[in-house]
Amino acid sequence: MQPAERIFVAGHRGLAGSAILRRLKAEKFENLICRTSRELDLRDPQAVEVFFEQERPDYVFLAAAKVGGILANSSYPAEFIHDNLQIQTHVIDAAYRWGVKKLLFLGSSCIYPKYAPQPIKEDSLLTGPLEPTNEWYAVAKIAGVKMGQAYRRQYGFNVISLMPTNLYGPGDNFDLKTSHVLPALIRKFHEAKRSSAPEVVVWGSGTPRREFLHVDDLADAAVFLMRHYDEEEIINVGVGKDIPIADLARLIKDVVGYSGEIVLDTSKPDGTPRKLLDTARLTQLGWQPQIDLREGIASTYGWFLEN
């Protein structure tokens, strides 16, 4: 992947896509192609076809997707499966037919079974039932992985698939109705601090454990793998350690500077009890994350305050 080659970052305004775009710019890539969803609706096969015919990218980072937390997945299951299936189907197919050299498909750790052995190895895929609260998104992402593998086997199209753990960082979604747990907690503690609220309610028992990867680390891994990985097998991207949600809440409370109490609402769903990725395959290739969780939360809170 040379600096002068044409690179399409699909979903460049999203959390992952914007970080990948920042990374590519920092490495002096010159021909970066971006379209907003208004300029190019990836759910529209004709629009995608015209785009690839005109732009002819050499490389594609497919980070465009409809994403959200437990509440969003539960509220809009049809949109989560329909939109994601359409986006990835149209982009992967058009990329192959218009001569893209390599495509990176961004999946999610939620594709793994709810009770997969921990830490989760890549070969755990399709070995058990999914977490019900996000199965619509997970099924779509699994289909994207399998489509990439099928196009590789039948047509020799170089598609690699990354499975990142829970992402956070600059550009995150802080809407309490649609966001994931970490940005939602930042928002909750910030608003509680501002209003001098006596307590902050956190969904669930606080016992589920989650792994969090700063999105700039993901972007670094994505560019690294685009250069150094060419296999059919999916590859996990994470930090190799996790934290209970209750401890995460206390950490965010401390970073934000909130002095009230944390109340756990056990009537709300916990989701998967634990979701830690086995990152040995990526580590063996020579990549390691660089951003500590406290440092990452502090920089993310700073971005939230500025924006």
The annotation status of 107 as a binding-site residue, yes or no, is yes
3-state DSSP percent of the chain in helix, strand and coil, to 5: 45, 15, 40
Q: What is the pLDDT of residue 112?
A: 95
The number of domains in the chain is 1
Question: Treating both helix axes as pointing N-terminal to C-terminal, what angle do 215-228 and 15-26 enclose, rounded to 10 degrees?
Answer: 60
In a domain, 144, yes or no: yes
The annotation status of 210 as a binding-site residue, yes or no, is yes
The annotation status of 14 as a binding-site residue, yes or no, is yes
Q: What is the pLDDT of residue 169?
A: 97
Any idea what the CATH number is for the domain that residue 160 is in?
3.40.50.720
Q: What does the pLDDT average to over 171-185?
A: 89
Kindly report the pTM of this predicted structure.
Answer: 0.94
In a domain, 131, yes or no: yes
Q: What is the pLDDT of residues 118-174, one digit of tens each?
A: 999 999 999 999 989 889 999 999 999 999 999 999 999 999 999 999 999 999 999
Q: What is the pLDDT of residues 5-18, one digit of tens each?
A: 999 999 999 999 99
Q: What does the pLDDT average to over 89-116?
A: 96
Q: Which residue has the higher pLDDT, 125 or 272?
A: 125
Query: Helix, strand, or coil here: 37?
Result: coil
Q: What does the pLDDT average to over 182-198?
A: 97
In a domain, 162, yes or no: yes
Active site residues: 137
The boundaries of the domain holding residue 116 are: 6-171+212-241+275-292
In a domain, 232, yes or no: yes
In a domain, 270, yes or no: no
What are 66's two structure tokens?
């409809």
Q: What does the pLDDT average to over 39-60?
A: 98
Give percent above pLDDT 90 in the chain: 90
In a domain, 87, yes or no: yes
The annotation status of 294 as a binding-site residue, yes or no, is no
DSSP conformational letter for 263: E
Distance (Å, rounded) from C-alpha 127 to C-alpha 111?
11
Return the bridge partners of 6, or none.
31
Q: Is the pLDDT of residue 97 over 90?
A: yes
